[in-house]
Amino acid sequence: MNINENSIEQNLIELLKKQNYRYLHGSQIERSLDSVILEDELKNSLKRLNPLLPQSARTEAYNQILHVGSSDMMASNEKFHNLLCEGVTVEYEKDGNTQGINVKLIDLDDIDSNDFLVVNQFIIKENNNEKRLDVVLFINGLPLVIIELKNALDEKATLYKAYTQIQNYKNSIPSIFYYNALTIISDGIDARVSSLTAPYSRYLAWKSPQKKENGVLPELQIMSEQMLKKDVLLNLIRFNIVFEKDDIKDENILFNYIYANEKSNFYISDDLSEEFYINQAFCGFIATSVKLENKFYLVPEMQFEYAILDFENLHISKKVKKLLDKKDFIFTINKNLDEVIQNIQNHHKTNWLYDEYHQLLKKLIIYKHKNIDFEIMSIEIWDKDSNTLIAGEIGYKIFSTYTSLTGFCLKEKKYNNFGKLQMVLLALYLEKNNYLFWNLGHPYMQYKFDLGAITYSRKEFLKRWIPAVSK
């Protein structure tokens, strides 16, 4: 077989067609060459994903996507990524009233509702520049993945040359990068993936547990068969970056790339060791989890904003004060982690607290890190008469800080406000035991502000967090 860039390109296309991607050559698409969006596909997808919404709402969402760009490519990309994952909020008139409504651009739950299209030789004209992209993956008409290919048999056509070509595209045809989620570089054998802002050192291979009988599968094949599977790709677009186990140990990467990269907050990692979990928590990440192809991954999140409670700001509502006065409850710490987790799993319809995460927490209870004072904690409120677990949460302490993970409260009417009671009692406990502050994670829930928490930006949070845990 004559191996060249074209044959590598065709092989990749065939692999994606087996994943039920549609395929078109760039010349088969009727479009203006200065348009990087497949406008008809986008319009059709908006209608398919939002069938009950008025046409005016879909049109407004379409126009917002079409005009998302600005002179700042990175700001445009960040804006679009938020719209992609969260939907486009538009206003429309109904019965004489202006209403807000959310328009979905992509369906993260029903994979088959989305249109996956692989296009090769995709020409773009912009600012008197004409460029031909090797392969572009469109989802619902949006150019989310760019793949630059080189020939492994050509000594001059290296992975770094492919990376350099991507950087050249950024300068000459920036508009397609408004919509970019991932870029892939490959020489037909080796393949690396990363996000728009990444330096060459942050382009990473996709690891696979599968081995070829007579050797190792080429990385490009692994990536196309596994990473570019529709469900995996959508989750990657959502979570954005693969997280290596050594990242948290490399201060240069941590401080100059991860902390500073405010476009990205979700990462995924297959390192399920106790040491890794403690180290990522120590660095200020809060880990949830996800399953991709039935494989369990941690999802450490370096949040954009954090809700922090200083105990002098603690607010106790009148309703909670009444519950405190009744004293018909029992407050405990670390009495029954298993029961708390079981209630959390039963309480939340969509839940990241998989059994694998539960088992990791149990391992962490007995694991002692050589340098970090770390402890998993379960918080419980019990009905004094029936000994029923009413409310609770799980979290962890690092030195004199406490971080919440997730919790629950029974929905019976007689237990109204017991969830807030649990939080107040926990705050009083933390204050009594000389904790510096309580990290409540995401600041996007009103009950945290009702408790007295204040929103900190990532930079502001790290200024408090790093000194507090650097003992």
- Cα distance between residue 42 and residue 67, in whole Å: 14
Contact predicate 311/405, CB 8 Å: no
Predicted confidence (pLDDT) per residue in 88-123, tens digit: 988 877 666 777 788 999 998 788 999 999 999 999
* Four-CA torsion 203, 205, 206, 212, nearest 10 degrees: 160
Nearest CA to 426 among 449, 403, 446, 443? 403
DSSP states of 413-430: GGGTTHHHHHHHHHHHHH
| Residue 274, pLDDT score | 95
DSSP H helices, 293-432, are 318-326, 337-347, 355-366, 418-432
Predicted confidence (pLDDT) per residue in 225-249, tens digit: 888 989 888 888 876 555 666 677 7
Banded model confidence at residue 336, pLDDT cuts 50, 70, 90: very high
Q: Residue 94, class by beta-carbon neighbours within 10 Å (0-12 exposed, 13-18 middle, 19+ buried)? A: exposed
CATH code at 305-469: 3.40.630.70
What average pLDDT score do residues 248-258 get? Answer: 79
- Which are the contacts of 456, defined by CB distance < 8 A and separation ≥ 6? 305, 306, 307, 308, 443, 464
Contact predicate 103/88, CB 8 Å: yes
Banded model confidence at residue 1, pLDDT cuts 50, 70, 90: very low
What average pLDDT score do residues 213-235 get? Answer: 80
- Which are the contacts of 221, defined by CB distance < 8 A and separation ≥ 6? 15
CB-hemisphere CA count at 13 Å for 197? 18
How does DSSP classify residue 349? Answer: S
Paired tokens of 238? 């959502």
Per DSSP bridges, beta strands 191-194 and 401-409 are: unpaired
Provide the residue type at 24 as one letter. L
pTM of structure: 0.65
- Cα distance between residue 270 and residue 258, in whole Å: 18
Q: For all residues of the chain together, what is the average pLDDT?
A: 88
- Greater confidence (253 vs 172) lies with 172
CATH code at 5-49+109-238: 3.90.1570.50
Q: What backbone torsions phi and psi does residue 232 show, to the nearest 5 degrees?
A: -65, -45
How does DSSP classify residue 53? Answer: S
Predicted confidence (pLDDT) per residue in 36-63, tens digit: 999 999 999 999 999 989 898 999 999 9
Longest dimension (CA), the chain: 82
DSSP states of 249-282: G-HHHIIIIITT-TT--BEEB----HHHHHHHHH
Q: Where are the domains of the chain?
A: 5-49+109-238, 305-469
- Cα distance between residue 35 and residue 434, in whole Å: 59
Q: What backbone torsions phi and psi does residue 27 show, to the nearest 5 degrees?
A: -70, -15
Banded model confidence at residue 361, pLDDT cuts 50, 70, 90: very high
